[in-house]
Every structure is written in C-alpha cells, then in structure tokens.
A and B are shown apart, each in its own frame.
Chain A
Amino acid sequence: NAGVTQTPKFRVLKTGQSMTLLCAQDMNHEYMYWYRQDPGMGLRLIHYSVGEGTTAKGEVPDGYNVSRLKKQNFLLGLESAAPSQTSVYFCASQGTGVEQYFGPGTRLTVT
C-alpha cells in the first residue's frame, strides 16, 4: 500500500516548455486535489476532482489543466511554463472521511 505517490520528484523547465505531473493513489479514494506551496503562502488549491472523469477549479487554476481519466490517477499539466509557476506541488486524496492524504511533493523550477 503505497498511499499517494507523485512523479517526478524534481523537474527544471525552461519558460514556455510543457510538462505533466502525475499523482497516483491506491486507496480507492474518490476525491483528489492538486495544491501548490509557496514560501509564506501555505498551500493553495489549484484544481480538484470529486470522482473519475470530473474536475473543478480551485483558488489558483490559471496556467494549469488537469485530467482524471482513471480513478487512481490525477494529472496536472502546464502547457507553457512561466517562472511564476516555480513552486512545490502536492497532490492529496480523500476517501469517505474528512482526512486528506498527501503525496511527497514535486519541486518544480521554471527558468
């Protein structure tokens, strides 16, 4: 039981490049979330999903897209990376309770 895993752990992009971050959970959870964490700002919700095939915008969705084609996976895409998207990205999942389970994070640098 791996819980929530994130791929990759680190990535450096040039401005304008694209990439996809993968989040996978093996707990059969319905809810999944993508957050970004910036110094002094805590965690801010980018997008979330309440089930397979559904997605919704969070607090800071601009510049990101997501997809939830399979229940266990939640993908976060950056179509044209900008330096403002340099951050640590966390994925979380949630089952029938109110507790979220977090992945280890992806550290992204955009130069």
Chain B
Amino acid sequence: AQSVTQLGSHVSVSEGALVLLRCNYSSSVPPYLFWYVQYPNQGLQLLLKYTTGATLVKGINGFEAEFKKSETSFHLTKPSAHMSDAAEYFCAVSPTGNQFYFGTGTSLTVIP
C-alpha cells in the first residue's frame, strides 16, 4: 500500500524567510506527485504536480518542488514566505494516475 509522510504537522516561518515543507512517499515505481494547498473553509487547490520529465517542478504563487527518486522525496519550497501563504498543505501520491493517497497535512504559519 502507498503511504505519504509529511514531516511536521505545524511549521512556522517569518515573513520573507524560506519555506520548506517535507514529503516522503513509499512507492516501488516513480509515481505521480502533487502538492495541494487548502485555505480555511475551502477545498484543495493544486499547487504543482510531477508526472514525468524535469524533476524540479514550478507551481503557482512562487512554490516549487523537487522529485528525488533516490530519497523518495518531493519537498515543497518557496524562497520568501508571504503572509498569504498561511494555509494547510497536502502532499499526495498516485501510482496510477487515478487513485490518490494524501499525507496528513502541514499547517504553515507565517509570522509578520
């Protein structure tokens, strides 16, 4: 069975500081990988996805993630945090493209 581990259920950063949210997955083959963001009382929005090709993926709002097969990781980064980045972030994995497994989420707080 697939599993997705997000290290740190709560992360706090200062405004302007680097954001790093960690995601590791278990899979015997390179899967599809996703990061979603959820703002309070809203559904999930896709930030970025990895399917094939370039391992560094750029998404919306200045976020990017790097697929590292040897480490089975797909960490999310943003060089400079903004107050509007405060939200819940979910990493997800799909081995086939139509069954998805989500991590437990990381709540990001941005301190002014």
Contacts and interface: CB of A to CB of B under 8 A. Distances in A.
Interface stretch (B40-48, B64-72, B74-82): B40-48
A4 B99 CA distance: 18
Interface string B86-110: 0000100010011110111100000
A43 B97 CA distance: 17
Contacts of B51: 98
A25 B108 CA distance: 30
B45 A102 contact: yes
A98 B32 contact: yes
Interface residues of B, number: 23
A43 B98 CA distance: 15
Contacts of A48: 99
Contact of A99 (B42, B46, B90, B99): B46
Contacts of A94: 98
Contact of B102 (A40, A43, A50, A105): A43
Interface of chain A, main secondary structure: strand
Chain A interface bracket (under 10, 10 to 19, 20 to 34, 35 or more): 20 to 34
A40 B49 CA distance: 23
A33 B104 CA distance: 18
Interface string A30-59: 010101000011111100101000000000
Given A45-B99, A90-B44, A98-B49, 12 more contacts: A40-B104, A42-B104, A42-B105, A43-B90, A44-B102, A45-B100, A92-B44, A98-B98, A100-B46, A102-B45, A103-B43, A105-B43
Interface of B: 4, 9, 32, 34, 36, 41-46, 49, 51, 90, 94, 97-100, 102-105
